Amino acid sequence: MSSGVVSGGGGTTSIVWFRRDLRIEDNPALAAGVRAGTVVPLFIWAPEEEGHYYPGRVSRWWLKQSLAHLDSSLKSLGTSLITKRSTDSVSSLIDVVKSTGATHLFFNHLYDPLSLVRDRRAKEILTDQGIIVRSFNADLLYEPWDVNDDHGHPFTTFTEFWNKCLNMPYDPAAPTLPPKRIISGDVSQCSSDKLIFENETEKGSNALLARAWSPGWSNADKALTAFISGPLIEYSVNHRKADSATTSFLSPHLHFGEVSVRKVFHLLRIKQILWANEGNTTGEESVNLFLKSIGLREYSRYISFNYPYTHEKPLLGHLKFFPWVVDENYFKAWRLGRTGYPLVDAGMRELWATGWLHDRIRVVVSSFFVKVLQLPWRWGMKYFWDTLLDADLESDALGWQYISGTLPDARALDRIDNPQFEGYRFDPDGEYVRRWLPELARLPTEWVHHPWNAPEPVLQAAGVELGMNYPLPIVEIDSAKDRLQQSVAEMWQLEAASRAAIENGTEEGLGDSSDSAPIAFPQDIMDVDHEPARNDTTSIPRRHQDQMVPSMTSSFLKVSDESSSEHRESAENSRQEVPQEPLRETLNQGSPHAFRQNNSPPQFNINMGLHNFEDVAESSSISRSSKDGGVVPIWCPSSSSSSEQFVVEENDTESSSSYLQRHPQSNELIDWRRLSQARTKKLGDRAS
DNA sequence: GCGGCATTAAT
DNA sequence: TTAATGCCG
């Protein structure tokens, strides 16, 4: 083992607390533990801490495999993973500290709201007990607090943020190699709990997953290499097709930290320089495009850190006044893939059956959800959370907020994308629809994305009976447009009224807290009986509040019980209708050409011209001195949800200014509110 | 070379 | 819808 940089090895035992950094390679917390002496690698399974965001079935399956993989790697290096079942991570940490005699705790940063709170607590409490706690950046190219505009404020649009990232004065830290050997700490007094990640029924449902996916850090590394040396070069050309085979397969790996994003970045850059030199513009474009999807992942963490309520509240406050349609039948039809819009339905069936969805299709189905059905976006987000293999709170929150028009740079709120046209754009030959909607399989391409227009003889010949074996559109696009216009107008009126009320001092705080009564979360919807969705839109109950999940920090509800049982049942239903996952058969591991399915990197990545950065090569030699090891991103929720304190603790001598001092208004709604008002004016002008 | 028209894609 | 790009006369 290496000589102990921190304290001379030998006597020092460190706990390395693994969370979503399930890799050996380029893992700063692990490296710190190895440097310090003997190591106790630890994983704590405390899903109840996640509240509503108890991981979904397929996500838990992945986690299980990934941990097994990690454990076997650790064993080959000389130690093994201690696992604890817990409802309180911090007490479990204390237990492990006591039973192992550890003096150090190392972990890598997470940026979701819950982890920010929990990690702060962990750090405080363990530090109080005399433990040396250090934490590191293993998840991002740059820490959120390092990327600011000229005034030192956080960016509020992606493009600005990403341009800044690409033009930082120092490179992301270079990835490091795995340790050669790990000396195990004394765990004779510290037993592992057996962790249960799936029940028997779920096991059955998960059985096929292993044929398509190989969780675990070294498999992630293989997937990365395979992608970069294969489909990457054509990524810009192919990434748009719903059925294309050229996405990276990396997003679940990235979610669990099986692969280092900094390694991805560095490998991409090598290709970029190579292709730039060769004058391969397609390749260059592809790298930029793919890098951008990495950037969106970064941005999701950045946003979550700076505005740690993004998973439950719209960033632009006016969306609170949007009159969401609370209709359980709509929601159900969407989940079942029975909306009558083939591209949407195909996507939802695929999600159901596989836990996977091409990011283009994610945009299609979520946009349909929000704009056509006008269902509360957080229901959709929650469903994604429950069903996606790569469910990721930060990325999904960003994606849904983008779709819902609640970001300053989101697409226009009142714009509806027509699934029919999107169908011909993303699935021009109808292959995707035919694969997932066997009832439409015999329909000619001409009609496959709008069967409701097809002549009766064509339908008959294809065996399609609209309203019987395939539904008519649940909502007409034209009426959806009308309804959306009305809703948006209503939203602005309410927002203006609220603002006036605040200015008059007649009402307070209507603006930004969770004052509005919540639209209950799906659990009261998930188990509704199987009623066909109605086409009539006149009697839909509406509520004038943003939907609101009970605070994550206060709730130990296991929503996923209902949702997963419903999901299972539905999946079973659908298996009769859906062809038996042809993709699994074709997904031979290791063969890039077998990648039938689109594993896009983090969700919602979309093409965008980035700056070429030829200067990247020169700047690559600059490395930055890490301020890791002391900084913990921290969020303290207060009783009022609108006034979260947001403090970064800095043990580091390098900087004495807290995050709050540097960004005094970063955690208030001020910025967004201002943006919201600017937008009010703009949209108001346009409307009049 | 330039204006007009079509195409594309948007975080 | 709009802005940017590309093609063609």
Residues 6 or more apart whose Cβ sits within 8 Å of residue A1: A9, A34, A37, A179, A181, A182, A183
pTM above 0.85, yes or no: no
Per-residue pLDDT, averaged over A638-660, amounts to 26
Q: What is the pLDDT of residues A268-277, one digit of tens each?
A: 999 999 988 8
- Bin A189: left if φ > 0, else alpha if -120 < ψ < 50, else beta: alpha
Report the Cα–Cα distance between both ends of chain A, in Å, rounded. Answer: 72
Residue A34 has pLDDT above 90, yes or no: yes
Residue A256 has pLDDT above 70, yes or no: yes
Label residue A626 by pLDDT band (50, 70, 90).
very low
- Tell me the angle at which helices A377-387 and A328-336 cross, rounded to the nearest 10 degrees: 40
- Tell me the angle at which helices A559-577 and A342-354 cross, rounded to the nearest 10 degrees: 110
Distance CA A64, CA A389 (A): 12
Query: Structure tokens of A481?
Result: 């447009």
Question: Average pLDDT, whole number, for chain A?
Answer: 75
DSSP-based three-state secondary structure for A575: helix
Domain ranges across chain A: 12-137, 140-174+218-306, 317-491
Nearest to A365 by CA among A303, A436, A300, A451: A436
Q: What is the CATH number of domain A140-174+218-306?
A: 1.25.40.80
Q: What is the pLDDT of residues A506-555, one digit of tens each?
A: 655 444 443 444 466 655 334 322 222 223 323 223 222 221 122 122 22
Residue A647: predicted pLDDT: 26
Per-residue pLDDT, averaged over A432-453, amounts to 93
In single-letter form, the type of residue at position A288 comes to N
Comparing A40 with A401, the larger pLDDT belongs to A40
Per-residue pLDDT, averaged over A317-326, amounts to 88
Residue A650: CB atoms within 10 Å: 17
Tell which strand C nucleotides have any atom below 7 Å from a protein Cβ: 1, 5
Answer positive or negative: Cα dihedral of A308, A311, A313, A316. positive
Per-residue pLDDT, averaged over A628-648, amounts to 34
Distance from residue A412 (CA) to nucleotide C3 (C1'), in Å? Answer: 14
Residue A505: predicted pLDDT: 74
Distance from residue A428 (CA) to nucleotide B3 (C1'), in Å? Answer: 33
Q: What is the pLDDT of residues A463-472, one digit of tens each?
A: 999 999 999 9
Q: What is the pLDDT of residues A128-178, one digit of tens each?
A: 999 999 999 999 999 999 999 988 999 988 988 999 999 999 999 999 999
Distance from residue A380 (CA) to nucleotide B5 (C1'), in Å? Answer: 40
Segment holding A107, helix H or strand E = strand A104-108
Residue A519: predicted pLDDT: 63
Work out if A410's Cβ lies within 7 angstroms of strand B. Answer: yes
**Nucleotide nearest to A299 in CA–C1' terms:** B11
Distance from residue A300 (CA) to nucleotide C7 (C1'), in Å? Answer: 38
Label residue A681 by pLDDT band (50, 70, 90).
very low
Query: Structure tokens of A153?
Result: 């404020």
Work out if A379's Cβ lies within 7 angstroms of strand B. Answer: no
Residue A503: predicted pLDDT: 81
Residue A522: predicted pLDDT: 56
* Matching residue, tokens 């192919």: A238
Work out if A157's Cβ lies within 7 angstroms of strand B. Answer: yes
Residue A244: predicted pLDDT: 64
Distance from residue A608 (CA) to nucleotide C4 (C1'), in Å? Answer: 11
Cβ atoms of A177 and A28 within 8 Å: the answer is no
Please report which residue ranges of A37-112 form alpha helices under DSSP H: 57-77, 89-100
Residue A238: predicted pLDDT: 79
Distance from residue A674 (CA) to nucleotide B6 (C1'), in Å? Answer: 38
Residue A197: predicted pLDDT: 96
Residue A625: CB atoms within 10 Å: 8
Give the CA radius of gyration of chain A.
Answer: 25
Q: Which residues touch strand C (CB under 7 A)?
A: A 412, 415, 609
Query: Structure tokens of A166?
Result: 């690409």
Work out if A117's Cβ lies within 7 angstroms of strand B. Answer: no
Residue A639: CB atoms within 10 Å: 6
In single-letter form, the type of residue at position A500 comes to A
Residue A10: predicted pLDDT: 55
Q: Which of residues 216-245 of A touch strand B (CB under 7 A)?
A: 240
Work out whether strand A82-85 and strand A38-45 pair parallel, antiparallel, or are unpaired: parallel
Distance CA A375, CA A102 (A): 50
Work out if A315's Cβ lies within 7 angstroms of strand B. Answer: no
Per-residue pLDDT, averaged over A432-445, amounts to 94
Cβ atoms of A43 and A18 within 8 Å: the answer is yes
Distance from residue A613 (CA) to nucleotide B7 (C1'), in Å? Answer: 27
Q: What is the CATH number of domain A12-137?
A: 3.40.50.620
Per-residue pLDDT, averaged over A294-312, amounts to 92
Work out if A158's Cβ lies within 7 angstroms of strand B. Answer: yes
Work out if A408's Cβ lies within 7 angstroms of strand B. Answer: no
Label residue A640 by pLDDT band (50, 70, 90).
very low
**Nucleotide nearest to A605 in CA–C1' terms:** B11
Comparing A636 with A396, the larger pLDDT belongs to A396
Work out if A605's Cβ lies within 7 angstroms of strand B. Answer: yes
Q: What is the pLDDT of residues A73-97, one digit of tens each?
A: 999 999 999 999 999 999 999 999 9
Work out if A303's Cβ lies within 7 angstroms of strand B. Answer: no
Tell which strand B nucleotides have any atom below 7 Å from a protein Cβ: 9-11
Label residue A319 by pLDDT band (50, 70, 90).
confident
Per-residue pLDDT, averaged over A576-601, amounts to 28
Work out if A411's Cβ lies within 7 angstroms of strand B. Answer: yes
Distance from residue A284 (CA) to nucleotide C4 (C1'), in Å? Answer: 19
A104-108 β-sheet, strand order: A82-85, A38-45, A13-18, A104-108, A132-136
Work out if A669's Cβ lies within 7 angstroms of strand B. Answer: no
Distance from residue A462 (CA) to nucleotide C5 (C1'), in Å? Answer: 41
Cβ atoms of A312 and A644 within 8 Å: the answer is no
**Nucleotide nearest to A417 in CA–C1' terms:** C1
Cβ atoms of A54 and A93 within 8 Å: the answer is no
Residue A258: predicted pLDDT: 98
Answer positive or negative: Cα dihedral of A493, A499, A501, A503. negative
**Nucleotide nearest to A409 in CA–C1' terms:** B11
Task: Among A192-206, A437-451, A674-688, name the one with the lowest average pLDDT.
Answer: A674-688
Q: What is the pLDDT of residues A330-359, one digit of tens each?
A: 999 999 999 999 999 999 999 989 999 988
Distance CA A82, CA A188 (A): 11
Distance from residue A416 (CA) to nucleotide B3 (C1'), in Å? Answer: 32
Distance from residue A315 (CA) to nucleotide C6 (C1'), in Å? Answer: 37
Residue A529: predicted pLDDT: 25
Cβ atoms of A638 and A284 within 8 Å: the answer is no
Distance CA A332, CA A589 (A): 35
Q: What is the pLDDT of residues A374-411, one digit of tens each?
A: 999 989 999 999 999 999 999 999 999 998 888 888 87
Query: Structure tokens of A84?
Result: 């604890």
Cross-strand pairs, A38: A13
Cross-strand pairs, A13: A38
Per-residue pLDDT, averaged over A626-639, amounts to 39
Work out if A367's Cβ lies within 7 angstroms of strand B. Answer: no
Work out if A422's Cβ lies within 7 angstroms of strand B. Answer: no
**Nucleotide nearest to A239 in CA–C1' terms:** B9
Distance CA A473, CA A341 (A): 6
Label residue A492 by pLDDT band (50, 70, 90).
confident
Q: Which of residues 176-215 of A touch strand B (CB under 7 A)?
A: none
* Matching residue, tokens 């304290």: A7
Work out if A407's Cβ lies within 7 angstroms of strand B. Answer: yes
Distance CA A470, CA A451 (A): 9
Q: Which CATH architecture has domain A317-491?
A: Orthogonal Bundle (1.10)
Work out if A388's Cβ lies within 7 angstroms of strand B. Answer: no
Residue A643 has pLDDT above 60, yes or no: no
**Nucleotide nearest to A686 in CA–C1' terms:** C1
Q: Using the C1' atom of nucleotide B9, identify the protein residue whose alpha carbon is closest.
A: A607
Query: Structure tokens of A27?
Result: 């893992």
**Nucleotide nearest to A414 in CA–C1' terms:** C1
Per-residue pLDDT, averaged over A673-680, amounts to 32
**Nucleotide nearest to A411 in CA–C1' terms:** B10
Distance from residue A36 (CA) to nucleotide B11 (C1'), in Å? Answer: 42
Query: Structure tokens of A344?
Result: 């949407």
DSSP string, A264-312: HHHHHHHHHHHHHHHT-HHHHHHHHHHHHHHHHHHHHHHHHHHSTTTTT
Distance from residue A157 (CA) to nucleotide B2 (C1'), in Å? Answer: 36
Distance CA A414, CA A483 (A): 10
Residue A576 has pLDDT above 60, yes or no: no
Per-residue pLDDT, averaged over A618-629, amounts to 30
Q: Which residues of A are annotated as a binding site for FAD?
A: 235, 247-251, 290, 390-392
Comparing A685 with A318, the larger pLDDT belongs to A318
Distance from residue A682 (CA) to nucleotide B5 (C1'), in Å? Answer: 29
SS3 of A533-551: CCCCCCCCCEECCCECCCC
